Structure 1
Amino acid sequence: MIFVNETTCPASWTVGYQRDGRERLIVVVKGTYTLPENGEPTVLATQQQALVEADQFIGEPGYSAPLWETDYAHCKTACDVLLLGSAHAPGQRAALRVQVGLQVGAMTKRFDVTGPRVWHRRLGTSVMAASAPAAFERLPIHYGTAFGGVDRSEEKRTGRVDTFLPNPAGRGFARHPASLDGQLLPFTSEHGKPVTQAEARYTPMAFSPIGRNWLPRSRFAGTYDQQWIDNTAPCWPDDFDDRYFQAAPPDQIIAFPRAPLDVRLSNLTPDGDRRFTIPHRPMPVTFIPYQGRDVERDALLDTIVLEPDEARYTLTWRSVLPLGKSIFDVREVIVGERSRAARMTQRFAGKPWYPSLADAVRALDRRKGSRS
Structure 2
Amino acid sequence: MAVITNDSGLPYAWFEKTGEGGAAYDVLAVRGTFDFSRDGKPITLATEQKPIIDGDEFDGEVDSAPLKAVLKREGDRVLYKPATDVYLTGTARSAHDEMRAEWMAGLQVGSMQKILRLHGPRQFVRGLFGWRLTRATPTNAVPLDYRLAFGGTYASESEEAAVEYVYKRDNPAGCGWLPDDEALKTLSKDARSQIAAEIGKLKLLAAPQIEDPMQPVRHPSQQCAAQGFGPVARWCSPRIDYAGTYDDRWRAEVYPNVPNDFNPRFYQSAPPDLIYPGYLVGDEIIIMAGLLPEGRVTMRLPRLRVMMAMTTWDGGGRVGALNLDTVAIDLDERQVSLVWRERFDRTDPVNFLRLGVTAFVNPMPEHAHG
Matches for 1:54-93 after TM superposition, within 5 Å: 54-61=55-62, 62-63=66-67, 64-93=69-98
The yes-or-no answer on 1:248 pairing with 2:282 is no
For structure 2, the 5+ residue unaligned runs are 180-195, 359-370
Q: In structure 2, what is the Cα distance between the partners aligned to 1:235 and 1:306?
A: 33
Deviations 1:6-60 (A, max 9, x none): 1111111111123232311110001000111335542100011111111111212
In structure 2, what is the Cα distance between the partners aligned to 1:30 and 1:179? 49
Provide the C-alpha distance between the structure 1 equivalents of 2:326 and 2:207, rounded to a whole number of angstroms: 31
- Aligned partner letter, 1:162: V
Correspondence for 2:352 among 332, 336, 340: 332
Q: Residues of 2 paired with 1:200 and 1:225: CA distance? A: 32
Q: Greater share of strand residues, 1 or 2?
A: 2
Distance in 2 between residues matched to 1:188 and 1:337, nearest whole Å:
39
Equivalent residue number for residue 143 of structure 1: 146
Aligned partners of 1:127 and 1:178 also within 8 Å: no
Superimposed CA distance per residue, residues 176-227 of structure 1 (whole angstroms, 9 cap, x where no aligned partner): 5545533321111111543231222332111111121211111111112222
The amino acid that maps onto 1:33 is: F
Q: Distance in 1 between matches of 2:143 and 2:337?
A: 20
What TM-score do you get using the length of structure 1 for normalisation?
0.84
Letter in 2 for 1:330: V
**Offset of residue 239 of structure 1:** 0.9
Q: Equivalences for 1:1-372 in 2 at 5 Å?
A: 1=1, 2-61=3-62, 62-63=66-67, 64-122=69-127, 125=128, 127-152=130-155, 155-156=157-158, 160-175=164-179, 178=200, 180-254=202-276, 255-324=278-347, 329-336=349-356
State how far apart, in whole Å, the 2-side matches of 1:274 and 1:22 are. Answer: 44
Provide structure 1 residue ranges, at least 5 long, that are not aligned to the other structure: 339-372
SS in 2 for 1:229: helix
For 2:295 and 2:202, the matched residues in 1 are separated by 33
Q: Residue by residue, what CA displacement relative to the aligned partner does 1:248-304 show, whole Å, maximum 9, x if unpaired?
A: 111001120234110100111111110011123211122322221223221000000
Report SS of the residue matched to 2:241.
helix
TM-score by length of 2: 0.84
What secondary structure, in the 3-state scheme, does the structure 2 residue paired with 1:3 have?
Answer: strand
1:112/1:192 contact within 8 Å kept: no
Q: C-alpha distance in 2, partners of 1:201/1:336? A: 49
What percent identity do the matched residue pairs reach? Answer: 27
Structure number with larger C-alpha Rg: 1
Change over 3 Å in CA distance of 1:200–1:142 after alignment to 2: same
Query: Displaced runs of 4+ in structure 1, greater than 6 A?
Result: none
Q: Does the 8 Å contact 1:269/1:309 carry over to 2?
A: no
Count of aligned positions: 332
Alpha-carbon contact 1:151-1:162 (below 8 Å) kept: yes
CA RMSD of aligned residues (A): 2.1
| Cα distance in 2 for residues equivalent to 1:40 and 1:81 | 19
Conserved in 1, the CA contact under 8 Å of 2:145 and 2:230?
Answer: yes
Which is worse superposed, 95-104 or 50-59?
A: 50-59
Q: 2:95, 2:292 within 8 Å by CA — same for their partners in 1?
A: no
Counterparts of 1:229 and 1:285 in 2: how far apart (Å)? 39
